Amino acid sequence: MLDETAERHSIPEAAELAGPVAQVKAAREGLARAVVRGPESNQREYAARFAELQTRVDQTERELASRSKRFLDRQTQTRRGFEELRASMKTGEALVAYARHSGGYVAFVLRAGEQFPHVIALAKAGEIDEDVARWRREIERERDAMGRAAAANEVAYRTSGMALRRAIWDPLAGLLSGSKTIYLVGDGALQLVNFLALPSGPASYLVESGPELRMISSEKDIAEPHRPRSGALLAVGGPAFDARPKQAVPSARRGASCEAFRKLDFAALPGSGEEAREVARIGQKFGFESRSLRGEEATEGAFKNDAPGKAIVHVATHGFFLGSRCVSETESPLLRAGLAFAGANRRASAISAGEDGILTAEEVASLDFESAELVVLSGCDTGAGEVQTGEGVLGLRRAFRIAGARTLVMSLWPVDDQETRRWMANFYETYLARKLSAAASVRSASQTLLRERRAAGQSTHPFHWAGLIAVGN
Q: How confident is the model at residue 52 (pLDDT cuts 50, 70, 90)?
A: confident
Q: Of 143-152, 225-234, 351-360, which gets the smallest average pLDDT?
A: 351-360
| 8 A C-beta contact, residue 120 and residue 109 | yes
Identity of the residue numbered 203:
A
- Indicate whether 425 pLDDT > 80: yes
Cβ atoms within 10 A of the Cβ of 350, count? 18
d(CA 364, CA 338): 8
* Mean local confidence (pLDDT), 53-67: 78
Closest by CA to 293, choosing from 266, 320, 275, is 275
More confident call, 223 vs 305? 305
What residues form DSSP beta bridges with 100? 105
Give the DSSP letter of residue 81.
Answer: -
Cα torsion 186, 331, 24, 382 to 10°: value is -40
**pLDDT at position 245:** 34
**pLDDT at position 254:** 34
* Mean local confidence (pLDDT), 450-459: 96
**pLDDT at position 329:** 46
- Indicate whether 248 pLDDT > 60: no
Residue 57, H or E segment: helix 43-67
Question: What is the 3 state secondary structure string of 160-222?
Answer: HHHHHHHHHCHHHHHHHCCCCEEEEECCHHHHHCCHHHCECCCCCEHHHCCCEEEECCCHHHH
More confident call, 6 vs 450? 450
Q: How confident is the model at residue 75 (pLDDT cuts 50, 70, 90)?
A: very low
- Indicate whether 243 pLDDT > 50: no
- Indicate whether 445 pLDDT > 80: yes
User: What would the pLDDT profile of 158-202 be if each residue is shown by its tens digit?
Assistant: 999 999 999 999 999 999 999 999 999 999 999 999 999 999 988
**pLDDT at position 227:** 66
Strands of 358-360's sheet in order across = 319-321, 337-340, 358-360
* Mean local confidence (pLDDT), 33-43: 60
**pLDDT at position 426:** 95
d(CA 82, CA 80): 7
**pLDDT at position 14:** 62
Q: Of 127-131, 255-259, 356-360, which gets the smallest average pLDDT?
A: 255-259
d(CA 222, CA 8): 22
Q: What are φ and ψ of residue 264, in 5° steps?
A: -75, 135
More confident call, 328 vs 217? 217
Q: How confident is the model at residue 156 (pLDDT cuts 50, 70, 90)?
A: very high
- The rounded mean pLDDT for the chain is 82
Angle at 95 between CA 163 and CA 470, to 5 degrees: 75
Q: How confident is the model at residue 12 (pLDDT cuts 50, 70, 90)?
A: low
Helices in 95-214 by DSSP H: which ranges? 125-145, 150-168, 173-176
CA 13: distance to chain centroid? 25
Q: Compute the half-sphere exposure of residue 140: CA atoms within 13 Å on the CB side of its CA.
A: 9
Closest by CA to 310, choosing from 377, 359, 375, is 375
More confident call, 314 vs 26? 314
Give the contacts of 119 (CB within 8 A, at least 6 positions apart): 106, 107, 108, 109
- Indicate whether 419 pLDDT > 50: yes
Residue 66, H or E segment: helix 43-67
- Indicate whether 2 pLDDT > 70: no
- Indicate whether 81 pLDDT > 50: yes
Q: How confident is the model at residue 256 (pLDDT cuts 50, 70, 90)?
A: very low
Identity of the residue numbered 447:
Q
User: What would the pLDDT profile of 83-107 be if each residue is shown by its tens digit?
Assistant: 788 888 999 999 999 988 877 899 9
Cβ atoms within 10 A of the Cβ of 151, count? 9
* Mean local confidence (pLDDT), 366-380: 91
- Indicate whether 261 pLDDT > 80: no
d(CA 217, CA 29): 26
